[in-house]
Chains A and B, each alone.
Chain A
Amino acid sequence: MGRASLFLVLGLSLAFGIIGFSMRRTTTSLVEAQTGYSKYLFARNLARTAIHTTLRAFDRNLTPIPEAGAFNGGSYAVQYQENHDTLWLKSTGMYAESTYTMRVKLFRTTKPFPRVGAAIGIRATPVNFLIAGHAKVDGRNYDSTGTNLVGSGDVPGVATMTSSDSTTVAKEKDEIQGAPPIKVDTSTIDPLPFLDEYKSNADYVYNVSGVYNTVTWGTESNPVIVYCNAGDDTTFSIKFTGNVVGWGILVVRGNVQFNGNFDFKGLVVVDGFNTVVQFGAAGTPQIVGGVIIAGNAGASVALKGTGANAKVKYSADALDKARRIGKLRYYSIIEWYE
């Protein structure tokens, strides 16, 4: 009897052992199926993250563009090739033993940019416009440096929305050059819809009245957005002294004074009701590109130049370069394979 019981117990133990092992193997298979899918998803997300990271690196003009990285326990590698506006990316995400590859072809461009059909395009109407001192407006098409005339592509010096505004501006006609110097052009795009984006993406923001010393805003290859907000109170002003050099988009609200050799290349948007843009007496202050006065009805804009060489010069080339602001760039998908 005792021997039989022993065999029975041993037999049962063996049977339960086999059953337990089998159940554990089934559970392991279940976990493997789930974690396998999870790893695959992680690898895919990493490949996508790598594309985002690389595009942001392009937007920030990083040199060199990072080609590998790690995130959340996984890693990724990116290979890229670019040809003008076309960008090819091969992104591979790796997580545990899973890998996922995406091959992407993108068209790189920038968001719509308010077109300027004159050295100064006035969208506001009616407008009080004043040029005082020796500030000049030149609608002839200059190169991006503002030193050489291109010889073609000249535009009006000042474009207004109505003939009465044109008459207002014509009081300053001695300071305005262009083809013709003053013109009614209702196609001037109101920059107001663009301003919120420019303000929220500004690389440099001046919200406090005061005097700011030598400043450099961006470069020709890395244009930026600058927002000078002096407010609508005319006593509240921002002054820049010394050399002020910039590329990109400059949004001005309120009284801003640029002294010394102010040299901005790109688009200047004047936004406000009582805005005075004043060039100082010394040096050769200039805006090369274009100026748009936003459509705030009844806006009062004064361009003052106490020196002899202050100028707003139209340059299609400078405007084109200003468009290439990284933060305003976007990518259209031409091909996407994953």
Chain B
Amino acid sequence: MSTFLDIVMSTILFGILALTVARVQTNINSSMCQNQFSVVVQTNAVELARQLEWDFAKIGHHVTGQKVLWADSTSIRFLADLTNTSTVDDVRYFLGDTSQLPATTNPIDVPMFRRVGLYAVKQNWGLTQFRITYYDAAYNKIPTPITTPEKLQRIHAINIGFRIESPEPVYSEHDTTWAAVTWEKMIIPRNLNNLNY
């Protein structure tokens, strides 16, 4: 009788322990997913920020005449010698739509296209928001779209903001929580408008 009771109690304790371990394992997996998605979105944010800073800081470098060709709230086209080789590049940034990222669970992420010359690269950063705002020398906002050369010449500063979200939900397949990072910066391209220093 005593041996039988020991076996029953052991089984119950083992069951409790196994359930506890399973629960801990689930939580740990969830945390790891969260961490992993955080790493992905933050790394993406850093890389995208560096790319935008790299490109936008060069707007107008080695360009005579019109430097920004058009400017809208989510797209821009400008000229710049990106590699400092006296070859002017025609650079475009614009967004795609959600149907162009069917593989991700996130319903609102869109690809970004960076076109230099004839070559466009579709970039999947997990962008869910992307906004470009333009300011003149007095830091008055210039309404978009900006299409006329006179208005384009007034552009002095460019504010860029974006939000990147994880492609999959953080906790479970049916969850709607996404790891996210927002970034915003005002860039003053030094080659615009004969700036003084």
Contacts and interface: CB of A to CB of B under 8 A. Distances in A.
In the A-B complex, the 4 residue pairs with the smallest Cβ-Cβ separation, listed nearest first, are: A336-B190, A26-B35, A331-B197, A37-B46
25 contacts: A8-B17, A15-B25, A22-B32, A23-B32, A23-B35, A26-B32, A26-B35, A27-B35, A30-B35, A30-B39, A33-B39, A33-B43, A34-B46, A40-B50, A103-B84, A106-B197, A330-B196, A331-B196, A332-B196, A333-B191, A333-B196, A335-B62, A335-B191, A336-B191, A337-B58
Residue of B39, B46, B50, B197 ringed by the most chain A CB atoms within 10 A:
B197
B43 A26 contact: no
Contact of A337 (B17, B38, B61): B61
B194 interface: yes
A313 to B, nearest CB: 34
A338 interface: yes
Contacts of A29: 39, 43
Interface string B72-113: 000000000100100000000000000000000000000000
B58 A332 contact: no
A36 interface: yes
Contacts of A330: 196-197
B85 to A, nearest CB: 11
Nearest to A37: B46
Residue of A27, A33, A36, A332 ringed by the most chain B CB atoms within 10 A:
A33
Interface string B32-47: 1001101100110010
B61 A36 contact: no
Contacts, number: 67
A336 B36 CA distance: 38
Contacts of A331: 196-197
Secondary structure at the B interface, as helix, strand, loop or mixed, is: helix
Interface in B179-197: 190-191, 194-197
Nearest to B31: A23
Contacts of A244: none
Given A19-B28, A104-B190, A337-B81, 12 more contacts: A15-B25, A19-B25, A29-B43, A33-B43, A37-B50, A330-B196, A332-B197, A333-B197, A335-B62, A336-B61, A336-B190, A337-B58
A93 B90 CA distance: 29
Contacts of A36: 46
B57 interface: yes
B84 A19 contact: no
Interface residues of A, number: 29
Interface in A304-338: 330-333, 335-338
A246 B190 CA distance: 37
A6 interface: no
Q: Using C-beta atoms within 8 Å of the partner chain, give the interface range for chain B.
A: 20 to 34
A34 B45 CA distance: 10
A203 B195 CA distance: 27
A1 interface: yes
B32 A19 contact: yes
A156 B109 CA distance: 74
Nearest to B84: A337
B46 A333 contact: no
Interface string B114-136: 00000000000000000000000
A29 B41 CA distance: 12
